[in-house]
Amino acid sequence: MSNDHSPTTLVLVRHGESNVTVNRVIGGHRTCSGLSDLGRRQADRLRERLATTRELAADVLISSSFPRALETAEAIAPAFGDLTIEVDPGFGEHDPGPEIDGMTFEGYVERFGTPDWSDPHVEVFPGGETIAAFHARVGAALSATIEAHRGTSIVIACHGGVIDASFRHLLRTASTGSFELHTLNTSLTEFTSAPSGEWRLKRYNDVAHLHGLPAETPRTTPTS
């Protein structure tokens, strides 16, 4: 139940390792094929951790519409009881557009060159979202979600780019540059609201549950 006088907790969970990352493919919502075998093991480990430690409560469990995020949300949902997963496409990864979606990383670089992400208004993906449009979408989804669930604990299964955009939105930093995040698969990123209305970063890239698992595929991609 929402309580406007209680702090709001926002936990962002990056999905487990995806097939598109393993196959070095730009996987937008059209071509995402879900989690790799390792990705499913990572998500299972996170569920086991959360079920054992009870370190997180969740009043709301949200997922982007991408299969890799949905699979992750479905894997961890039992740790939160009987919550229904709410799907919000606003938390989907940067949309590369229909022409680029499914293209290999190598093919993209051969055709378009190494992308320059310094200008948020440049269409790095022809026919896809600019960084500015992507951040505006994620920011709108965040604002609507926080307003609807103020004073509760919100858990969102999403993407590395979404977590980057959320940092910049909540902490009011530059839309590009200033810092670079390398968000790990099934990591926990947690923010809490302050009485002043500002947001506090409580933790980032918490992957203690992955100890002993093989290393994930490096994310050396042309995406943001």
Is the residue at 3 inside a domain?
no
Residues 6+ apart with CB under 8 A from 65: 29, 87, 88, 89, 92
Instruction: Give residue 147's domain range.
Output: 9-207
Is the residue at 214 inside a domain?
no
Residue of 153, 207, 210 whose CA lies nearest to 182: 207
> Sorting pLDDT into bands at 50, 70 and 90, what band is 219?
low
Beta bridge partners of 61: 85, 155
Q: Per-residue pLDDT for 147 more than 70?
A: yes
- CA-CA distance, 50 to 69, in Å (whole number)? 17
Is the residue at 71 inside a domain?
yes
193-202: pLDDT as tens digits? 988 889 999 9
148-187: pLDDT as tens digits? 999 999 999 999 999 999 999 999 998 887 888 999 999 9
Is the residue at 176 inside a domain?
yes
Question: Dihedral of CA 101/31/185/72: which sign?
Answer: positive
35-63: pLDDT as tens digits? 999 999 999 999 999 999 999 999 999 99
- CA-CA distance, 173 to 123, in Å (whole number)? 21
- Strand runs labelled E in 19-152: 60-63, 85-87
| Residue 172 DSSP code | T
Is the residue at 161 inside a domain?
yes
Is the residue at 136 inside a domain?
yes
Cβ-based neighbour number of residue 24 at 10 Å = 16
Is the residue at 115 inside a domain?
yes
Is the residue at 1 inside a domain?
no
> Sorting pLDDT into bands at 50, 70 and 90, what band is 223?
low
Question: Dihedral of CA 39/45/47/50: which sign?
Answer: negative
Residue of 58, 63, 68, 56 whose CA lies nearest to 85: 63
4-30: pLDDT as tens digits? 578 999 999 999 999 999 999 999 999
Pairs from 52-58 (Cβ < 8 Å, separation ≥ 24): 56/11, 56/80, 56/153, 56/155, 56/188, 56/190, 57/9, 57/153, 58/11, 58/83, 58/153, 58/154, 58/155
Number of domains in the chain: 1
Phi, psi of 78 (to 5 degrees): -60, -25
Q: Residue 221's pLDDT is what?
A: 56
CATH number, domain containing residue 80: 3.40.50.1240
61-119: pLDDT as tens digits? 999 999 999 999 999 999 999 799 999 999 999 999 999 999 999 999 999 999 988 99
